[in-house]
Chain A
Amino acid sequence: MSKTETDEATGVDTTGHEWDGIKELNNPLPRWWLWCFYLTIIWGIGYTIAFPAWPMLSSATQGVLGYSTRAEVAAEIDRFEQQNASLKSALAQSDLTQLAANPDLQRFAVANGAAVFRTNCSQCHGSGAAGAKGYPNLLDDDWLWGGSIDEIAYTVTHGIRNDVDSDAHWSQMPAFGDILEEGQIGEVVHHVLALSGQEHDSGLAEAGAVVFEENCASCHGEAGLGDREQGAPNLTDAIWLYGGDAQALTDTVTYSRFGVMPPWGGRLGKADVNAVSAYVHGLGGGE
């Protein structure tokens, strides 16, 4: 089978291999190609020794250079942390009400705060900070616990109605279903509809005013303007956390509804709390 012969048409020797009369010309690979191929093999051996390569049962060989993509990312993060260290410490120590006087620091705070918000706050308040039913909208001008930058920072630091932080905002509306008659609840609902300028039955509303004064005014105020000290919502405006129609109001009065928020002071640190406060304050509702 290994009889080589010279092909007439091309003048090239055959390899001597023949399959069904088809013979193979002996045109070896170009030298440069072969040498490149050998070089890649040598390179590959060196590479597997130098870098993490061979998979083991639970990990992989480490490579003599000790390279790791995770370590590289960590180093990258460290580098940025160091670059921002001075700005961060300045932010942690700064008086938030004076932030606007330092545009560079404010820009850093808002940009940093946007990242903190998307990571930690958007789950409840939404990525656009518009909130949802039961989760306050942070873009509007209505604040339960105050909308100045210091008040926002306090809320972020200590949270609302949690057992973790003793300084957390705390208040709770009782479930009036257990206290009031069903008729009285209907009356007070119509009074609240009247307070917020919605369609209502004036007879019921008048009767409800009495119920309101006895049961609700201590927190929401006689005029229904609310009280930020107790996180009691303003009932005269157009913004409702759980809905403002008759059915929603009846449910709220009967069963009582309130939300909670964890304290972020310990988890984020002072600088990030200040940053996210500056960001939220700059969304359009800040006072």
Chain B
Amino acid sequence: MSNSENQPLYAPQEPIFPRRVSGFFRTFKWWIMAVTLGIYYLTPWFRWDRGPSLPDQAVLVDLAGRRFYFLWIEIWPHEFYFVAGLLIMAGLGLFLFTSALGRVWCGYTCPQTVWTDLFILVERWIEGDRNARVRLWNAKWDLRKWRMRITKWIVWLLIAVATGGAWVFYFTDAPQLARDLLNFEAHPIAYFTIAILTATTFIFGGFMREQVCIYMCPWPRIQGAMMDDETLTVGYREWRGEPRAKKRLESTGDCIDCMACVNVCPMGIDIRDGQQMECITCALCIDACDDVMDKIGKPRGLIDYLALADEPRERAGNPPRPIWQHILRPRTILYTILWSMIGFGLVFALFIRADIDLTVDPVRNPTFITLSDGSVRNTYTVRLRNKHGEARDFRLSLSSDEILRIDLEGTARNIITVAPDSTTLQRVYVTARPQDPAASQDRTDLRFWVEDVQNGERAHRDTTFNGKEN
């Protein structure tokens, strides 16, 4: 497809019937599928005790309450940089793996690949392996074909519903939502989200499959920029395999043109044509070819993870360089360093952040007022955050080089109770007596302190006091 000269921008979809295969990579992929699907379906059901007034779901994205709970970590909207940091790490991680191992994300862990793999497994289980499926495809629409197709579609649909269903559990209390969903009492948005994700899973996994990777996904187009000659990708040792022939002679290469590698390919390509856009490096052709090489008594690795840089060496009859030499190079080391720096930064930020916090918003309309005794007063709106699961008493105070007095609106004390896991706005007045410098000085620096009465934990925020304009 890719080496023909006049390529169309879009080629109509051709049916692909991947054959069953077994081997190291297939087994590895089964494990990855089990682990990733397990994580996806089970995560919302883990519980985590956070006290009486907070949700007990281990991983919860509470959009309505504007909180993100991950085990013992609770992210507030003003700490969104944690999420941004994680996304940057995910991006850099993808760069790292792509520059080292090509489209390893696509081939092993991308949801499109994992779910398509699962759907093909179902297809094979109901309709049989490649040859049976080809026959069924060409068969007339009789009762047997209808029966098999409908059975397959129903199983796909069940998987799709479970997929869409699992997604919504991340956003609200899972057991409660499950009950509501079954009683038809859940919010319409929940049903709507499930319906959309069911449709996309069913269509992408069942029918569009490789079309999603080739025409819809932007990632393959970006990946080219991250790969180079040292990147290990799935390739064909053309110098060893060619000239291919079904009948083996002295002059022929190792490839017996058995088409095993083509038949197992979920993307419907021939890896022997060289690296191509469609290849997601799922490595199933390696398993298929190794199996054939074993049978005909030739060494494994006719199709293998290769780096382009090794090709001249191998053509000259030398062995390829060891894998670590391909993987350890400035580019991957740089990605690793960047990735770890952000990771360390996030962990550091996580440990130094306080459970209490304040922000100060000086009222600047007006900047100051004069009281009847000539004192000058500034007003501040102080937002107090209590991230604890229970109500806390906060003591507000200030420190400054000049003499200033602090008063709170609505109370004669300087202690405020903040409800659990919430914020409170408090109007605060700071006054300078007429004889004190702060009253006549243009600006006076001051620092607001908030102290948790219970455990003495403190936080502060700097601001300024405006004196009377002269």
Query: Contact residues of A with B, CB < 8 Å?
Result: 100, 126-128, 130, 137, 139-142, 234, 237-239, 282, 284
Query: What distance in Å separates the Cβ of A245 from its nearest Cβ neighbour in chain B?
Result: 14
In B343-378, which residues have CB < 8 Å from any A CB?
Answer: 363, 365-366, 369-374, 377
At the interface, yes or no: B379 with Cβ under 8 Å from chain A?
Answer: yes
Chain B min CB distance to A242 (Å): 15
Chain B residues near A139 (CB, 8 Å)? 366, 369, 377, 379
* A137 adjacent to B369 (CB under 8 Å): yes
Q: At the interface, yes or no: B429 with Cβ under 8 Å from chain A?
A: yes
Tell me whether B51 is interfacial, beta carbon within 8 Å: no
Of the candidates B366, B373, B379, B427, which one forms a contact with A238 in the assembled complex, judged by CB atoms under 8 Å apart? B373
Is B366's CB under 8 angstroms from A130's CB?
Answer: yes
Q: Tell whether, in the assembled complex, residue A282 and residue B365 are in contact, meaning their CB atoms are under 8 Å apart.
A: no
Q: Is B369 a contact partner of A130 (Cβ separation < 8 A)?
A: yes
When A and B form their complex, what is the total count of cross-chain residue pairs whose Cβ atoms lie within 8 Å? Answer: 46
Known: A130-B365, A282-B427, A284-B379. A238 touches B410 (CB 8 A): no
Q: Give which listed residue, B363, B371, B434, contacts A140 with CB less than 8 A.
A: B371
On whether the beta carbons of B372 and A239 are closer than 8 Å, the reply is yes
CB of B232, distance to nearest CB on chain A (Å): 41
Which residues of chain A are near B410, meaning CB under 8 Å? 100, 282
A128 touches B363 (CB 8 A): yes
Q: What is the interface size of chain B, counting residues whose CB is below 8 A from a CB of the partner?
A: 16
Q: Which residues of B contact A282 (CB under 8 A)?
A: 409-410, 427
Known contacts A139-B379, A140-B372, A282-B410; decide if A128 and B366 are in contact (CB<8 Å). yes
* Most chain B CB atoms below 10 A, which of A142, A234, A238, A282: A238
Give Cα A137 to B371, complex, Å.
Answer: 10
The CA-CA distance from A284 to B363 in the complex, in Å, is 12
Instruction: Sample 20 A-B pairs with CB under 8 A, ordered by A number.
Output: A100-B410, A126-B365, A128-B366, A130-B365, A130-B369, A139-B369, A139-B377, A139-B379, A140-B377, A141-B371, A238-B372, A238-B373, A239-B370, A239-B371, A239-B372, A282-B427, A284-B369, A284-B379, A284-B409, A284-B429
B366–chain A nearest beta-carbon distance, Å: 4
CB pair A140 B427 closer than 8 Å = no
Known A126-B366, A142-B372, A282-B410; 14 more pairs at CB < 8 Å: A100-B410, A127-B365, A130-B366, A139-B369, A140-B369, A140-B377, A141-B371, A237-B373, A237-B374, A238-B373, A238-B374, A239-B370, A284-B377, A284-B409
Give the residues in chain B near A137, CB-CB below 8 Å: 369
Ranked 6 nearest A-B pairs via Cβ? A128-B365, A237-B372, A130-B366, A238-B374, A142-B372, A139-B369
- How far does the Cβ of B466 sit from chain A's closest Cβ, in whole Å? 13
Q: CA separation between A100 and B409, bound complex, in Å?
A: 11
The smallest C-beta distance from B404 to any residue of chain A, in angstroms, reads 15
- Return B419 CB to nearest CB of chain A, in Å: 11
Q: How far is the CB of B39 from chain A (nearest CB, A)?
A: 38
Interface residues in B306-344 (C-beta closer than 8 Å to A): none
| Closest residue on chain A to residue B428 by CB atoms | A284
Report A-chain residues with C-beta under 8 Å of the C-beta of B372.
Answer: 140-142, 234, 237-239
A interface footprint on B373-410 (CB within 8 Å = 1, 0 otherwise): 11001010000000000000000000000000000011
Nearest chain A CB to B83 CB, angstrom units: 31
B128 to chain A, nearest CB (A): 34
In the complex, what residues of A have CB within 8 A of residue B429's CB?
Answer: 284
Least distance between B10 CB and chain A CB atoms (Å): 11
Q: How far is it, in angstroms, between the C-alpha of A164 and the C-alpha of B71 when the chains are bound?
A: 65
Q: How long is the Cα–Cα vector from A130 to B372 in the complex, in angstroms?
A: 14
Q: Which residues of B contact A128 (CB under 8 A)?
A: 363, 365-366
With a cutoff of 8 Å between Cβ atoms, the chain A residues found around residue B366 in the complex are: 126, 128, 130, 139
Chain B residues within 8 Å of A141, by CB: 371-372
A52 to B43: give the CA distance in the assembly, Å. Answer: 49
Docked CA distance A128–B366 (Å): 6
Chain B positions within 8 Å of A142 at CB level:
371-372
Query: B102 to chain A: closest CB distance in Å?
Result: 35
Shortest distance in angstroms between A200's beta carbon and chain B's nearest beta carbon?
A: 16
Please indicate the chain A residues that have their CB under 8 angstroms from the CB of B365 in the complex. Answer: 126-128, 130
Which residues of A are found within 8 Å of B374, using beta-carbon distances? 237-238
Q: How many Å lie between the Cα of A238 and that of B369 in the bound state?
A: 11
A140 CA to B379 CA in the complex, in Å?
11
Interface contact A238-B409, CB-CB below 8 Å:
no
Q: Which residue of A lies closest to B377 (CB)?
A: A284
Complex-state Cα separation, A127 to B366, whole angstroms: 9
Contact B371 A238 (CB under 8 A): yes
Q: Contact flags (1/0) for B248-259 with A, using CB distance below 8 Å? A: 000000000000
Best-surrounded residue of B369, B372, B373 (most CB of chain A within 10 A): B369
Instruction: Give min CB distance, B414 to chain A, whole Å.
Output: 16
List residues of chain A with CB within 8 A of the CB of B371: 140-142, 238-239
Distance between A225 CB and nearest chain B CB, rounded to angstroms: 11
- For residue A50, give the distance in angstroms from its CB to the closest CB of chain B: 23
- B366: nearest residue on chain A (CB-CB)? A130
**Residues of chain B contacted by A238 (CB below 8 angstroms):** 370-374, 434
Question: In the assembled complex, which residues on chain A have CB atoms less than 8 Å from the CB atom of B427?
Answer: 282, 284
Nearest residue in A to B379 (C-beta to C-beta)?
A: A284
- CB contact list, B421-460 vs A, under 8 A: 427, 429, 434
Which of chain B's residues has its CB closest to A138's CB? B369
Chain B residue at smallest Cβ distance from A106? B410
- Minimal beta-carbon separation of B393 from chain A (angstroms): 15
Among B365, B372, B377, B434: residue with most chain A CB under 10 A: B372
Residue of A nearest to B376 (CB): A238
B369 CB contacts on chain A under 8 angstroms: 130, 137, 139-140, 284
Residues of B contacting A130 with CB < 8 Å?
Answer: 365-366, 369
Q: How far, in whole Å, are A139 and B366 apart by their CA atoms in the complex?
A: 9
Q: A12 CB to closest chain B CB, in angstroms?
A: 13
Please give the distance in Å from A195's CB to the nearest CB on chain B: 13
Least CB distance, A235 to chain B, in whole angstroms: 11
Nearest residue, chain A, Cβ from B429: A284
Query: Most chain-B CB neighbours within 10 Å: which of A127, A142, A284?
Result: A284
Note all chain B residues with C-beta closer than 8 A to A234: 372
CA distance A127 to B379 in the complex (A): 15
Q: Which residue of B lies closest to A107 (CB)?
A: B425
Nearest CB on B from A139, distance (A)? 5
Measured CA separation A29–B379 after assembly (Å): 67
B377 cross-chain contacts in A, Cβ below 8 A: 139-140, 284
When C-beta atoms are compared, the residue in chain B nearest to A127 turns out to be B365
A126 to B364, CA, bound (A): 13
Closest CB-CB distance, B12 to chain A, in whole Å?
13
CA distance A117 to B456 in the complex (A): 40
